[in-house]
């Protein structure tokens, strides 16, 4: 084992996992990496810097060599989202990860105690990856991690404070009607931009029993973000989508 490679997602769970990895394996062994998709809230940069200070350790930022952000992927590939997932996740998160990881890395993801079944499924689907789950080993939940970050004096990213369930890019194509109506209220410029991209590509993110619903046709009162299924856009998501493909 050459490295302990922590995949940091600019969230509380992966931050605590990184802190635990450093405590157990030391700064010489641990590498903390963040895949930057280019379309997350700018406050994430503040959160990453404060976490890096808490770690006492650098966070390496990885970027796609081909695309600048999600919008670049949408327009160049002419693809938003489909049954096998979102193209932006594969291009901006999966490919930089595959280029950076090494075969003998001990890889650390921020699976919490509630997600033990997901970690086991990951091991089954990725037998070539040497996975370590320090949060599960210690029985730490997502709430535990949020509390630990708060006690460390680090403010959570703005997207959490605004009530979003995940710290995804602003305007994720995996979101439902409630999510997109919340984006309409919180980030009207992003809503308008995605509306135009949909029309340019002649593709709709949303649909119901009647068929396609373009964003510029979406009733502002449809959907409830808090009641919609939680969707994640992370390296774990990209790996699972690769398995589906």
Question: Tens-of-pLDDT digits for all 245 residues of the chain?
Answer: 689 999 999 989 999 999 999 999 999 999 999 999 999 999 999 999 999 999 999 999 999 999 999 999 999 999 998 877 788 999 999 999 999 999 999 999 999 999 999 999 999 999 999 999 999 999 999 899 989 999 999 999 999 889 998 888 999 999 999 999 999 999 999 999 999 999 999 999 999 999 999 999 999 999 777 767 655 555 544 443 344 34
CA–CA distance, 112 with 163 (Å, rounded to integer): 20
pLDDT of amino acid 242 = 45
pLDDT of amino acid 10 = 92
- Report whether 130 contacts 105 (CB < 8 A): yes
Question: CA dist 53 to 1, 46, 108, Å?
Answer: 26, 11, 20
pLDDT of amino acid 84 = 72
- Helices 142-151 & 12-25, crossing angle to 10 degrees? 80
- Report whether 108 contacts 7 (CB < 8 A): yes
Q: Which DSSP helix (H) or strand (E) runs through 100?
A: helix 95-100
pLDDT of amino acid 67 = 97
CA–CA distance, 55 with 32 (Å, rounded to integer): 10
- Report whether 19 contacts 120 (CB < 8 A): no
Q: Per the structure block, which two tokens stand in for 153? A: 């004096």
- Report whether 239 contacts 122 (CB < 8 A): yes
pLDDT of amino acid 233 = 54
Domains of the chain: 4-157 (3.40.50.620), 177-227 (no CATH)
CA–CA distance, 205 with 183 (Å, rounded to integer): 14
pLDDT of amino acid 86 = 84
Residue 25 Cα to chain centre, angstroms: 25
This prediction's pTM: 0.85
CA–CA distance, 198 with 205 (Å, rounded to integer): 8
Closest residue by Cα to residue 111 from 3, 232, 245: 232
């Amino acid at each position: 084992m050459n490295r302990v490679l922590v995949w940091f997602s600019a969230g509380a769970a992966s931050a605590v996992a990184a802190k635990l990895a450093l405590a157990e394996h030391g700064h010489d062994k641990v590498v903390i990496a963040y895949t930057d998709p280019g379309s997350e809230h700018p406050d994430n940069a503040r959160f990453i810097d404060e976490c890096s200070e808490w770690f006492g350790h650098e966070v390496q930022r990885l970027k796609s060599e081909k695309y600048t952000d999600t919008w670049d992927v949408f327009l160049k590939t002419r693809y938003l989202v489909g049954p096998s997932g979102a193209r932006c996740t594969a291009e901006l998160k999966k490919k930089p990860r595959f280029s950076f990881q090494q075969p003998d890395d001990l890889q650390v993801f921020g699976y919490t105690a509630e997600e033990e079944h997901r970690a086991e499924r990951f091991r089954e689907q990725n037998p070539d990856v040497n996975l370590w789950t320090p949060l599960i080993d210690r029985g730490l939940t997502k709430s535990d991690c949020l509390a630990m970050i708060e006690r460390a004096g680090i403010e959570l990213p703005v997207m959490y404070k605004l009530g979003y369930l995940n710290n995804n890019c602003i305007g994720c194509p995996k979101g439902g009607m409630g999510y997109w109506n919340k984006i309409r209220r919180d980030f009207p410029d992003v809503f308008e931009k995605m509306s135009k991209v949909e029309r340019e590509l002649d593709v709709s993110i949303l649909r119901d029993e009647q068929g396609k619903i373009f964003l510029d046709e979406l009733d502002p009162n449809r959907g409830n973000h808090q009641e919609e299924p939680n969707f994640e856009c992370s390296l774990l998501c990209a790996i699972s989508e690769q398995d589906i493909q």
